[in-house]
Structure 1
Amino acid sequence: MDQMKTMDRLKKRAEFLAVAGGARASRRGFVLQKRDPGTESPDRAARIGYTVTKKMGNSPERNRIRRRLREAIRATGEHAVAGTDYVLIGRRAALSQPFDLLVSDLISGFDALKRPTSGPRQHERGKEPARQPGQATSPERRER
């Protein structure tokens, strides 16, 4: 059984932050984020970073989530686009989800991120976009 060589990893915080501004695909066991390949090195292998926050449990649980995601990447690595940086944010459901379902979710996540998007996100979560002067923000304001 030939096993794929492991992908390069993201290690620096700046690399993770650069990926965070790109496209994302949410699945039950993880969130997959992507940063498009730059013109500087489109021929290099895809790189991937793993994040599991303390909200997901104690360290053995977080490490188990990370190991399951790493093994799923080994199984589906050929779906990653060369030169692209990815970040996998693990969720607690990755612990109880059957492995073959985790792998199929990862494949669908890679495929979803291959589709063209409208561009990077414009505003942070929870903040409303700027409104024009005189524009009502809600129906209650219009009735006054």
Structure 2
Amino acid sequence: MKKEFRVKKNKEFQEAFKQGKSFANRQFVVYSLQRNDQSHFRIGLSVSKKLGNAVKRNQIKRYIRQAFHELDQELKPNYDFIIIARKPTAEMSFFEIKKSLMHVLKLSRVVKTHKHGNNKS
């Protein structure tokens, strides 16, 4: 994932926490903030030291970034997402993380709706 697609600055994180909407499941908390001044979504990651050592935390962040990379075409473009990983993510595989993220993103209604009628989500 390209660097310009990441939320880095503390000010931007705080803005998303204060003005954005939050959605959660057991594995993730996702804050989404609509931004009309950008053409691609951006993600910011927060993985606590409680989840494991640096190797484990970096692995979780790689999995999350890869999941967003694969979901690229399905997400609405003009959003900032702040993803906070919870304890269960430390034990999950990439596919479980992707499925869980998709679930919480659908809750937050930032997944593009498909035009054809066979999508029942």
Counterpart among 81, 84, 91 of residue 86 in structure 1: 81
Give the aligned partner of residue 44 of structure 2: 49
Aligned position for 1:106 = 101
2:17 aligns with one of 9, 17, 20: 20
Structure 2 residue aligned with 1:118 = none
Structure 1 residue 63: Cα displacement: 1.1
Distance 2:56 2:96 in 1: 19
Give the count of matched residue pairs. Answer: 108
* Deviating 4+ runs (over 4 angstroms): none
Pairwise CA distance, 1:98: 3.4
- Aligned 1:1-144 pairs, distance under 5 A: 6=2, 8-21=5-18, 22-38=20-36, 41=37, 44-114=39-109
Structure 2 SS opposite 1:25: strand
Structure whose residues are more often helix by fraction: 2
Taking structure 2 as the reference length, what is the TM-score of the superposition?
0.76
Deviations 1:57-103 (A, max 9, x none): 22122112111111111122223221111011122322322332321
2:26 maps to a residue whose letter is R
Are the aligned partners of 1:19 and 1:87 in contact in 2 as well (CA < 8 Å)? yes
Q: Is the 8 A contact 2:51 2:90 kept in 1?
A: no
Largest Rg, 1 or 2: 1
Give the % identical residues: 26
Alignment CA distance shift 1:58-1:101 (3 Å)? closer
Contact 2:28 2:104 in 1 (8 A): no
Aligned equivalents of 2:53 and 2:44: distance in 1? Answer: 20
